[in-house]
Structure 1
Amino acid sequence: MNVLKYLNVKPEPTDTGTDIRAGLLSRAEEARSRGNFVASALLFEHIAEMESNPASALHQSARMYIEATDFTRAEQLLLRVAQAEPHNAEAYLDLAQLSFHQSRLDEAEFFYERALALRPEWHEAKAGLLRVGETRTEQLRRERLARKETALSFAQYEEKENLLGSRDKRVDPSLFKKGWNELHHDHGPAFVFTHSGNNAKTEWGNGATLRGIEALRGYLVSDVPMASLRIYMDGDVIHDAPLIEAPQRFERSNPNIRKWAYNAWIDFTNLPRGWHEFIFCAFGADGEAHEGRTWRREHMIVADPLPAEFATESDTVVPPFEPGTSGSLVERINARPSIVHKASPHSFPGKIDTVAVLRSDQLGDTAVSAAAFLHLRQILPDARLVGLMSSASAELSRSYGVFDEIIELDFPEDQAQRQRVMDFDAQEALIDRLKPYNFDVAIDFVVNGTSKRLVAMTGAPVTMGFGNDDSKTFAMDIVTNDPLSNNDITHHSVRMMMLVKSLELWMKSDTRIVRREDIGREELAAFGIAPNERYVLIHSGSRITFTRWQHYVALAKQVIAELGVKVVFMADDDSVRDQFAEEEGAGRLIYLARKLPFDQFDALISFASVFVGNDSGPKHLAALRGAPVVSLHSSRISWIEWGQEQTGVVISRQVPCAGCGLHHDPEECAQDVACMKYIRLAEVFREVRALFEAGAPNDQVVAAISPA
């Protein structure tokens, strides 16, 4: 490799060797200060090529490769240094630490001992040798424990079989706790897409579809350090950014294996519609390109953004920016204010003015759907219901008096093909005929059959029906089985009514406030809270730790200072307690970092004037009891699904990667958990103040918001 060309270093012909070396050294140190360790390492290597004694420059290069986690190349260079300078104790120490980092304990021990032989009193080498011994002991302990756990589970399994002669076949070995060897395996190089559009049926075909501002997410698995990812659309670069290093958990044998994650926020709003070729290309230290390992090709559809009035409450739908807005797309999204959602039992994502109802099969099918059709009219008294019916059921459908209009489908059953058929011209004519209706919802009542192929032709942004092989918005699978014949054991009409009831609950759930009559405010006396004293409860914990909001301490102090009210601060441990020494000493804050009896815990939550917390179990309990709740919701899952329905507000952020579902591998976020990081203290305090100053005692609040 021509390092000078790679790093865009162009020495003048008149430059002396000393000038070139000085220039390279300056660039190497500059690259190191910027964190560009691969470039720095390459420059130090080139300096070494220019010197008669290259050991010092090679040593610097090796340390840069260690910073870049290219341990293989670092080790090669350190061994060259040790060979050139056998008395270089620091080279042996670096080799020891490198070997230890890769769990090669025998080699680490050898190199630490070599370093100590050269510098007998070197504390760092002594400490390293001690760590090797401790680690070896811990590894042996874990291996014995893992073998014991695995053997114990299977021994119990076998013992029961031996004792009883035949084991109960319902006992499932997959539920046994697994040992280390079962959990860990070898990972090879890979390029993994975790989100590249949503599958949709469009006018260009069925495939991964991108609308408006979207996130393309994924990661590479590699034992070679990766630096950046570039995404091309039809040959044009649409994204170029660093990759984020993440651990590859449960790797068995290769300590160099890492994940390199990306989360590319891209605005497709004004890009051409239709199919496009995308190439995802990662750049690493070795400069090699392998399809499926460092680059991937994908074909995706760019389609129109969703209608402006649809899914306005979704955190995934990022509104477009005005032309000329300054800053990168990421900066502009993160600069926007958080979204405050009023708690509500309503979760349907838009308006329902016009509904397409599909029942394209036989007379009997339509007859058993009558109760469902009548209930649909009952829950949508003002909507325009348009029935798309077969000729066999059109007249019966009209007789119900439910539909504003019936469209008879030319959709006959072909005996030879054993399904309903519709030719190209008829399908295009149907699409053209349905377009002016601007349906909000399409509901297909056919459980099995080709009717579902017609749903997309309605153009409705919300589609409902049975089965999800055609990417419905709301899909149901209802399976009942007779234990002997395997036939269904529920009425067909039940399925039809369940579909309509689902829409009814989607429009407004049956959630409610449930208070306990057997506990009262006297439970609060144990915490020094007077019978009529108001307080704000802040629950700072969360089972999923990376979704915890980071400003609870500052919020508690601001509540005390500006609202003049006591704060109950619940935490997982005492790690931030010393920050409240003044407030706790003055009796303005109660710090709780212990597990409480459930009745006390329930009472503290139930009678809080305001509850503040992450999306967690205590948040849901507070809403269930009727306490006004400020919920800080990570967009990893939908606030519409998991936000409280009864009281208060949910604060979240609109980000293109909402719905990532990350749990055990938060490093794959690759956007620094922006959905929590940019919920600002001022935004949260504003909502806490508003709920607190609403001011009604809890029993009045409950009376005001309980369903009639």
Structure 2
Amino acid sequence: MTSENILIIKLSALGDFVQALGPMQAIRRHHPDAKLTLLTTKPFVDIAERSGWFQEVIVDKRPKLLNIKAMLQLRNKLRSGKFARVYDLQTSDRSSSYYRLMGNPKPEWSGIAKGSSHPHANPNRDFMHTVDRQAEQLSMAGITDVPFPDVSWMEADPSKFGLPENYALLIPGGAPHRPDKRWPGSSYGQLAARLVQEGITPVILGTKAEEKEADEIQAECPEAISLLGKTTLFEIAALARKARFSVGNDTGPTHLAAIAGAPTLALFSHASNPDLCGQRGPEVEILRVPDLSNLPVPDVFGKLRSIAHLSQPET
């Protein structure tokens, strides 16, 4: 029998969402008898429902604040939940504004909304890594045992892809509006050719939006296998667990591969700060340079030696 209704808010994006899985699990453990509801966006409904932590998942379509009809629908949905406490793991202006939609009396609120009963009151919170920031936020709300995100339950059968046993994941994508966060596709292609020399089959992950990068990789390395648009998030996790390693840009699938357990090399430019949003996992290396377009392939191959025991790169 449930004793209270609890809401977690976590909207996007993929990397942020999977890094919040540890906090979500901690909240579930802290409220074992509660009805736990997640407010999230459509891409993450499947993960949330299959995690087994939530009795209800609400899709937030993120209506424009001036869309009165849609905002009233969201307000009514939030108020009907009769939530005793809300854990805002998004802590954005949007999610904080939902505090005002809750009506009176307000639920207890963990987050940064004005009036929060359990505010994350660290003035330096914006300078903390996401994982550490959320753990501290929960500690201020009385939850001190926050595990590292566990995606071992994200199971799938990757055998349908017919991959060889010795493969590595290449993740050349990223937000379309952030090209400065991408290592060039031709550079990934040259790296892929080096991997083939090592007896490792390069496997390209991404969406149809990365077709240009995939074409550039396969132009340099015809042996590379493209799985663009063919993998679910659960299949990415399963592929990562069996991969020799993964190498990718600062993008969601790289986060998922790292958390799933693939030794991971993440490539950063000065467009993003790994101290705040870098990949976390059992074995992660970060390579950051001012401009990824100038990052030499031998430098990347050299970094991979420490996590994948590759041969000495050429100079």
Between structure 1 and structure 2, the one with the greater Rg is: 1
**TM-score normalised by the chain length of structure 2:** 0.49
Structure showing greater relative contact order (alpha-carbon pairs closer than 8 Å, 6 or more residues apart): 2
Q: Normalization by structure 1: what TM-score?
A: 0.24
